[in-house]
Amino acid sequence: METKNRIFKDLQALKAKVNAEKASGKKVVFTNGCFDILHKGHVAYLDKSRSLGDVQIVAINTDDSPFFRTKGPERPYVSEMNRAFMLAGLRSVDYVTFFSEETPIDVVKALMPNVITKASDYTIDTIVGAKEVMENGGEAYAIPLVDGFSTTSLVEKIKKGA
């Protein structure tokens, strides 16, 4: 499937795809984040997350989401469509969608994945949507971060000219 055909702005269209995946017996994994400057830590995290199921959905913060307003006027560094395109090109990512709200809870509730993941800077209790997924018989996981890789540290290194 072409990369662009794996990117969904329309949540209802993605929901139809996800329901078809579930109906065929596939285990659906959901994660979210900004993925502003894609790096090794992101790819390792997404690979581990995807290993917990058959199909992975990544929901990303839109450029005008509240998350980016807290990060400063220069963020995001990479536009939402460029971030979505890069993510959709990874073998571990089957579908990409967007959320502009403070959290992806509406996306989680609409898609109701079998598994929800976040990086280990979250706990199961702080993963948005984990409660709902687990109440629906699903699972939630906090996946260990890859040491030494973060967008913030990468930007600082670039700014220092290193």
Domains: count for the chain: 1
Q: Which domain holds residue 115?
A: 3-159
Domain holding 66: CATH number? 3.40.50.620
The distance from CA 79 to its chain's CA centroid, rounded to whole angstroms, is 15
pTM of the model: 0.91
CA nearest to 97, candidates 76, 78, 83: 83
104-131 per-position pLDDT tens digit? 999 999 999 999 999 998 999 999 999 9
130-151 per-position pLDDT tens digit? 999 999 999 999 999 876 666 6
